[in-house]
Structure 1
Amino acid sequence: MPATVHLAHGTIAAIGAYQDAPDGVVLRAPDSAYVVPGIVDTHVHINEPGRTTWEGFFSATEAAALGGATTLIDMPLNSIPPTTTVEHLRVKQRAAAGQLMVDVGYWGGAVPGNVADLEPLWEAGVFGFKCFLADSGVEEFPPLDREQFVTALREIARFDGLMIVHAEDAAVLAEAPAQPTRSYRDFVLSRPDAAETAAITQVLDGARETGARVHILHLSSARALDLIADARAEGLPVTVETCPHYLSFAAETIPDAAPQFKCCPPIRDSGNREALWQALRDGIIDCIVSDHSPATAEEKGRGDGDLQQAWGGVSGLQVGFSVLAQEARRRAISLASLSRWMSRNTADLVGLDRKGRIEVGADADLAVYDSGAEFRIEATRLAHRNPISAYDGIRYGGRVTRSIVRGNAIDVDRVDHTYGKELVRG
């Protein structure tokens, strides 16, 4: 609807008629544009400190701002040290100081041996705890076995925390064929649907046993949807996310030896993709996040096209909303629905009730999406530290043209890394 959003002191002060323009600075959007809540991306690997050559707070928050994301929650790996103790959290917070263009909060990590650190991390302001049920890819963040997982869940349930889970089953992966290959089809076979369904069953059983709140990260396999729907019907406290690359690409069109498309769990076929879109419509999947997991060209190119050796992760932080706006339009899904999945629902997941919404009293975090501004994605022109992206070379009809962070309008020609602030739970 046509409207004027009044901003004052970093918050939304009023929402009035379009003709109700105030005196002073006015930012106008063309008739082809929409003002939406700033994206709240709760799954981003910023990697600083320790692997800042992969990404860092400066480049990640700039990419976020240019893509309409005004809030990020940073994953506890692949930084060194990982965010598994309060001391390590403080190291990360010091590294971020003075580098934030958007607001940033942190997940903690649940790893073998740190059960005693979970409540102190929660009290220090992390938004929940990430764990793996299979190899994470970095030695400093090992997975939990079944007993360790339930022990951590029981502790997190005690203080009503949130466990977020990379749900792939180690035993299923160990049995899958994983020979060196340049074939994307063979790579998908090495990360089968059964790895996700087995791990998700374990997560749901753990929630049933302990009462802990659980969240399934980056759902790839539509074969797990019935499990999740049944758990919801049972009343288990489970939420689920998926990602733009699972909603945009299909395995049958991905070229071989193209590591920019490699991620774990993998991008599956087009039928699976459409089932994920339907699950969003049906409310089985709650939200969409980037799972921005970049690496250097050396890491992505490890093995010279061997997809088993290349680092797994898709870089899409700057372009995810614009990509999905077109994909949603192709499926007659409203921009309002997409915004809800990428802003309000993600904000609600982590308890940020002033983020992800255009309401009086909310933070003045906004993005302008212009459906008439076509663009071609060029990886070399993205703000990501490394110019590698699965979206490189694709043309889209519409893009984010402006972001506003707590009332500060981002100027793409004069970036300012003092706009963002550190977020803590509560």
Structure 2
Amino acid sequence: MTSTRVFPSTTGLSASQTRPTKKKFIEIKKTGTRHTLKHHKTVKCSKEALTDVCGDFFLYKGPVKTHLQKNPPRNVYIKGPIVDARAISKEGLIYYFSTPRNAIPPTTTQEAWQQKMDAAKDQCWVDVGFWGGVIPGNCEELRKMVSSGICGFKCFLIHSGVDEFPSVSYKEVELALQQLVDTNSVLLFHAECDVGPTIADSDPPEKYSTFLASRPSRMEELAIEQVIRLCETYKVRCHIVHLSASSALPMIREAQGRGVPLSVETCHHYLSFAAHQIPDSSAQYKCCPPIRDQDNQELLWGAVKDGTIQQVVSDHSPCTPDLKMPGTMDFMQAWGGIASLQFGLSLFWSGASKRGYSMQDAVRLLCEAPASQASLSHRKASLRPGMDADFVIWNPQESFTVEESMILHKTRAQVTPYLGQTLQGKVYKTVLHGEVIYEDGKLLHGIPIGGFL
């Protein structure tokens, strides 16, 4: 047998299995330029090819980030190797999609997309894809970008937080959808709309209750109502990013039930925190839409379980500490975004395991659904023979407490709310293209081996 590597004594898993398969050997085969998977009950191989996995841990197709801002806002793309290598591999991530807004130039033209790929060439620690952006006046760019291989686009129905990526009107959304008909592309929506003033100028800006009142659920409900209407009219796949308002779930379920091609995600922070847990003057918890109350959180968990929500993502949105207003912790002026890179798998499993979710649910929500959205199910997110040799080995039973010294993403602990949290599930190895790139706290590859999707 000629093999790159063999992984024994693991518990392999896919969402379609009713129970894990014990004691399976996974062989990594090189076919042309790809490393793919092959399964065996028994194998003969050299000692050098046999990789210890520390016992009966789960061999799990690595989670996928389809919603991640790599850069702090307004940073020029890109300085140094793409994304925080140790942080992303510590979570077991094997590929992610970068959203179009934060890094300059925004990914709203064919030229800007090419600039980003040129800048990131040979700097990808994992496989990387890009979402394009829909802004006023760029509809003529969309089909060119689709033809060049971009998987989909994102737009904002409210101010995006940066002037370089303006929001779109519903008429402009229609123009974009007209361009995307029959392309199999997908349009992602930041689905909040302006409903006018909801707080008084005298309301204290450092109180979380003030910020929460400034972004009521109605903002999401009205926007999603229009997204459903447009999605049904043009039959183009549409996706709601970071759903926070459970009050929108009934209309979403009804639309999905009549065949509208609408998918939805929620985020780890909406499933991990509730409004009553957020102290005043703690802008590290600020995100848009906001974290809402405990009842809302449980309704989101229920929608994740019944399939109304198909994905759970990080929406990792880093910023430099000064943008979180450390002097005043003014919720109204602070940057809206939560940094969670490297903890996503553990964050999800910490809440899901207490609510009766299975590992198959985790595979479906964190791996298979995101890959399907990005039209990558033929290569990624499964341990089936012939799929890309990318996966994670982790222990879902082991817990750990988030300490500042272990936080690896560049924005560090000042701007993450997870410091001090006890999480369930620890990643031990991350395998990309058949190579172990992360093992027990250490990044093993000195050079990036990822590529573009």
**Which TM-score band applies after superposition, normalised by the shorter structure?**
over 0.9
C-alpha offsets along residues 90-127 of structure 1, whole Å, 9 cap, x if unaligned? Answer: 11112212221100000000000001111111112211
Residue identity (%): 35
**1:383 to 2:408 alignment:** yes
Amino acid at match of 1:370: N
Q: Which residue does the alignment assign to 1:120?
A: 144
Higher mean Cα deviation, 308-317 or 5-14?
Answer: 5-14
Whole-Å separation in 2 of the counterparts to 1:195 and 1:212 = 23
Q: Which residue does the alignment assign to 2:28?
A: 7
Secondary structure of 1:338 counterpart:
helix
Secondary structure of 1:410 counterpart:
strand
Question: Which residue among 354, 359, 382 is the counterpart of 2:384?
Answer: 359
List aligned pairs for 1:4-43, cutoff 5 A: 4-9=25-30, 10-17=34-41, 20=43, 22-23=45-46, 24-31=48-55, 33-43=57-67
- Partners of 2:37 and 2:388 within 8 A in 1: no
- Partners of 2:371 and 2:380 within 8 A in 1: yes
Whole-Å separation in 2 of the counterparts to 1:167 and 1:302 = 29
Secondary structure of 2:96 counterpart:
strand
Specify whether residues 125 and 50 from structure 1 end up closer, same or farther in structure 2 by C-alpha distance, changes over 3 A only: farther
* Structure 1 position 30, deviation (Å): 3.5
The runs of 5 or more residues in structure 1 that have no matched partner are: none
* Structure 1 position 263, deviation (Å): 0.5
Question: Which residue among 364, 378, 382 is the counterpart of 1:340?
Answer: 364
Could you say which structure has the greater relative contact order, defined with CA pairs below 8 angstroms and 6 or more residues apart? 1
List aligned pairs for 1:183-332, cutoff 5 A: 183-301=207-325, 304-332=328-356
Amino acid at match of 2:423: Y
Amino acid at match of 2:198: A
Specify whether residues 406 and 48 from structure 1 end up closer, same or farther in structure 2 by C-alpha distance, changes over 3 A only: farther
Q: Which residue does the alignment assign to 1:80?
A: 104
* Structure 1 position 380, deviation (Å): 4.5
Q: Which residue does the alignment assign to 2:444?
A: 414
- Partners of 2:77 and 2:104 within 8 A in 1: no
* Structure 1 position 61, deviation (Å): 4.1
Amino acid at match of 2:391: L
Amino acid at match of 2:380: K
Higher mean Cα deviation, 260-269 or 150-159?
Answer: 150-159
Specify whether residues 107 and 57 from structure 1 end up closer, same or farther in structure 2 by C-alpha distance, changes over 3 A only: farther
Whole-Å separation in 1 of the counterparts to 2:382 and 2:156 = 31
Whole-Å separation in 1 of the counterparts to 2:207 and 2:388 = 46
Specify whether residues 54 and 175 from structure 1 end up closer, same or farther in structure 2 by C-alpha distance, changes over 3 A only: farther
Between Structure 1 and Structure 2, how many residues are aligned?
Answer: 420
Amino acid at match of 2:311: C
Specify whether residues 303 and 113 from structure 1 end up closer, same or farther in structure 2 by C-alpha distance, changes over 3 A only: farther
C-alpha offsets along residues 214-246 of structure 1, whole Å, 9 cap, x if unaligned? Answer: 011011111111111000111111111111111
Amino acid at match of 2:296: N
* Structure 1 position 361, deviation (Å): 0.6
* Structure 1 position 375, deviation (Å): 1.9
Higher mean Cα deviation, 198-207 or 320-329?
Answer: 320-329
- Partners of 2:264 and 2:310 within 8 A in 1: yes
* Structure 1 position 27, deviation (Å): 2.4
* Structure 1 position 289, deviation (Å): 1.3
Question: Which residue among 399, 404, 422 is the counterpart of 1:374?
Answer: 399
Whole-Å separation in 2 of the counterparts to 1:300 and 1:234 = 43
Amino acid at match of 2:199: P
Q: Provide TM-score, normalisation by structure 1.
A: 0.93
C-alpha offsets along residues 292-332 of structure 1, whole Å, 9 cap, x if unaligned? Answer: 11000011226621101000101112101012112111111
Whole-Å separation in 2 of the counterparts to 1:12 and 1:319 = 27
User: After TM superposition, which residue ranges in structure 1, 4 or more long, deviate above 6 angstroms?
Assistant: 53-56
Secondary structure of 1:69 counterpart:
coil
* Structure 1 position 371, deviation (Å): 2.7
- Partners of 2:77 and 2:103 within 8 A in 1: no
C-alpha offsets along residues 320-349 of structure 1, whole Å, 9 cap, x if unaligned? Answer: 101211211111111221121001110011
**1:141 to 2:160 alignment:** no
Secondary structure of 1:399 counterpart:
strand
* Structure 1 position 21, deviation (Å): 6.4
Higher mean Cα deviation, 401-410 or 156-165?
Answer: 156-165
C-alpha offsets along residues 13-45 of structure 1, whole Å, 9 cap, x if unaligned? Answer: 32233x546433222334452110011110111
Whole-Å separation in 2 of the counterparts to 1:20 and 1:398 = 29
Amino acid at match of 1:278: G
Amino acid at match of 1:89: W
Whole-Å separation in 2 of the counterparts to 1:21 and 1:310 = 58
Whole-Å separation in 1 of the counterparts to 2:216 and 2:37 = 50
* Structure 1 position 378, deviation (Å): 2.4
Whole-Å separation in 2 of the counterparts to 1:92 and 1:272 = 38
